[in-house]
Amino acid sequence: SPTGDSWGIFTFLCAALCNLPALPALNCSEELGAGQSIQQTYDLTRYLEHQLRTLAGTYLNYLGPPFNEPDFNPPRLARAERVPSATVDLDLWRGLTDNARLAANYRAYSRLLCYLRVLDGQVGTAELRHRLTHFCASLQGLVLSIGGVMSSLGYPLPAGPAGPPAPPGTPAAPNDFLKKMDDFWLLKELQTWLWRSAKDFNRLKKKVPPAVITLRLEAKGF
Is the pLDDT assigned to residue 71 strictly greater than 80?
yes
Mean residue pLDDT across the chain: 77
The CATH number for 29-165+178-207, chosen from 2.40.30.10, 1.10.1060.10, 1.10.600.10, 1.20.1250.10, is 1.20.1250.10
Beta carbons of 55 and 157 less than 8 angstroms apart = no
So what's the pLDDT on residue 179?
Answer: 86
| Mean pLDDT on 115-134 | 86
Is the pLDDT assigned to residue 7 strictly greater than 90?
no
| Mean pLDDT on 139-165 | 83
Percent of the chain surpassing pLDDT 90: 43
So what's the pLDDT on residue 107?
Answer: 92
Beta carbons of 102 and 150 less than 8 angstroms apart = yes
Q: Which of 8-17, 89-98, 132-141, 172-181 has the highest mean pLDDT?
A: 132-141
Residue 139 pLDDT class (50, 70, 90 cuts): very high
Task: Provide DSSP, the chain.
Answer: -HHHHHHHHHHHHHHHHHTGGG-TTEEEEEE-HHHHHHHHHHHHHHHHHHHHHHHHHHHHHHH-TTTTSTT--PPPPGGGGGSPP----HHHHHTS-HHHHHHHHHHHHHHHHHHHHHHHTT---HHHHHHHHHHHHHHHHHHHHHHHHHHHTTPPPPSS----SS-TTPPPPSSHHHHHHHHHHHHHHHHHHHHHHHHHHHHHHHHSPPPEEEEEE-STT-
Higher pLDDT, 92 or 79: 92
Give the separation between CA 112 and CA 121, rounded to whole angstroms.
15
pTM, entire model: 0.74
So what's the pLDDT on residue 75?
Answer: 79
The residues spanned by each domain of the chain are 29-165+178-207
20, amino acid identity = L
